[in-house]
Amino acid sequence: MSGKIVGTGSCMPEKIVSNDDLAKIVETNDAWIRERTGVARRHISEKETVVSMACAAAQKALEDAHMKAEELDLILMGTSSSGTIFPSASCMVQKEIGAVHAACVDVSAACTGFLAVYQMGQAYIRSGMADKILLIGADTLSHLVDWTDRGTCILFGDGAGAAILVSGGSETACEVMHSDGGRGQALTCDSRHRDGSKELSGDPATYIRMDGKAVFQFALSKVPEVILETLEKAGCTTEDIDYYVLHQANIRIIDGVVRRLRERPEKFPSNIEEYGNTCAASVPILLDELNRAGKLKKGQKLVLSGFGAGLSWGTALLEWQKEN
């Protein structure tokens, strides 16, 4: 028995930073950022934290699922920027929302974080170890970005997305995950020298460092490959898929995946223009937007796909079973 998603939620910080705002602090411009990335603006946290946004997204997902926090037996949270080594961010969320019966685990898989927790949630349900799971992807990469590096600071934004996964899903659910630590140096952020405050130490290694071209090429080759691998494993073809909910890293990566799969662009919803790359939050935020807009119909097949630091990449095929 697989799990099915019965509720979604999301939360973004209040403050919006436009490309023109960024052009005041680094040598860049709106036209370059839009054309090379698809990003027009991003939400950047001031008072919000990974945990506060995760709690807000979780509450909305619980409401959408008509469930109480006490019913949850597991919280799995993908985050790489919660600001504490321990206690885990998921334990802090548990406390805030009152999910007193839930076990809590954080997962560090960067932009693949939501796919990782979704897949783990499915494995818990299939093994019988859990029944009602809160899945969260939440990040504030703005705290880890070098705001003098125009190659990275233009890309990222902050946010949180959540989904409730419960047993009773369709047997077409199918997942694949891969990692290649050998290529990990393409995207790094070292926490060892941080002093626990929000301020970074000044050591360049403690900021996000990225070989943008290497990550771009990796995504363009591996994302279509893992999608096709998942479809084959599930006995499906691209014809069966209604929507591809991809990690929002760069609109040119999404366009490239459309071309390589010989698919129709309208099957690839995107919100990168509004939020930039929100790391583990991007897939559940987009899923929540589709759900709330009433675009997801019972019986439709969705592909979720995440990719990023590690390097890591993963995909899930699911049948939407929620009535809207």
Any idea which residues carry the catalytic annotation? Answer: 111, 247, 277
Q: How far is the CB of 118 from ligand UT7 (least distance, A)?
A: 17
For residues 256 and 41, what is the distance between their CA atoms, to the nearest angstrom?
Answer: 22
Q: How far is the CB of 140 from ligand UT7 (least distance, A)?
A: 15
Asked if residue 79 binds ligand UT7 (CB under 6 A), the reply is: no
Asked if residue 305 binds ligand UT7 (CB under 6 A), the reply is: no
Applying CB under 6 A, among 10, 250, 305, 315 the residue interacting with ligand UT7 is 250
Minimum CB distance to ligand UT7 smaller for 36 or for 260: 36
Applying CB under 6 A, among 49, 88, 122, 277 the residue interacting with ligand UT7 is 277
Minimum CB distance to ligand UT7 smaller for 219 or for 302: 219
| Chain residue at closest Cβ approach to ligand UT7 | 212
Tokens, residue 155: 């890309």
Minimum CB distance to ligand UT7 smaller for 37 or for 315: 37
Q: How far is the CB of 154 from ligand UT7 (least distance, A)?
A: 5
Positions in 26-45 near ligand UT7 (CB under 6 A): 28, 32-33, 36-37
Applying CB under 6 A, among 62, 111, 134, 144 the residue interacting with ligand UT7 is 111
For residues 162 and 173, what is the distance between their CA atoms, to the nearest angstrom?
Answer: 19
Applying CB under 6 A, among 159, 256, 308, 314 the residue interacting with ligand UT7 is 308
Minimum CB distance to ligand UT7 smaller for 59 or for 151: 151
Minimum CB distance to ligand UT7 smaller for 154 or for 303: 154
Question: Looking at the DSSP assignment, which residues form a beta bridge with residue 177?
Answer: 314
Positions in 120-179 near ligand UT7 (CB under 6 A): 150-151, 154
Single out the residue of 305, 117, 161, 123 nearest to residue 228, CA to CA. 305
Judge contact between 178 and 315, C-beta under 8 A.
no
Single out the residue of 60, 111, 108, 118 nearest to residue 80, CA to CA. 108
Positions in 180-239 near ligand UT7 (CB under 6 A): 187, 210, 212-213, 215-216, 219
Minimum CB distance to ligand UT7 smaller for 213 or for 298: 213
Task: Determine the Cα angle at 280 with ends 277 and 283, to 5°.
Answer: 75
Q: How far is the CB of 283 from ligand UT7 (least distance, A)?
A: 11
Q: What is the dihedral of CA 128, 136, 93, 296, to 10 degrees?
A: -90
How many angstroms separate the Cα of 64 from the Cα of each of 109, 165, 228, 293?
Answer: 27, 12, 31, 13
Minimum CB distance to ligand UT7 smaller for 125 or for 254: 254
Q: How far is the CB of 152 from ligand UT7 (least distance, A)?
A: 7
Asked if residue 249 binds ligand UT7 (CB under 6 A), the reply is: yes
Dihedral angle sign, alpha carbons of residues 20, 276, 54, 145: negative
Residues at the contact surface with ligand UT7, assessed by CB under 6 A: 28, 32-33, 36-37, 111, 150-151, 154, 187, 210, 212-213, 215-216, 219, 249-250, 277, 308
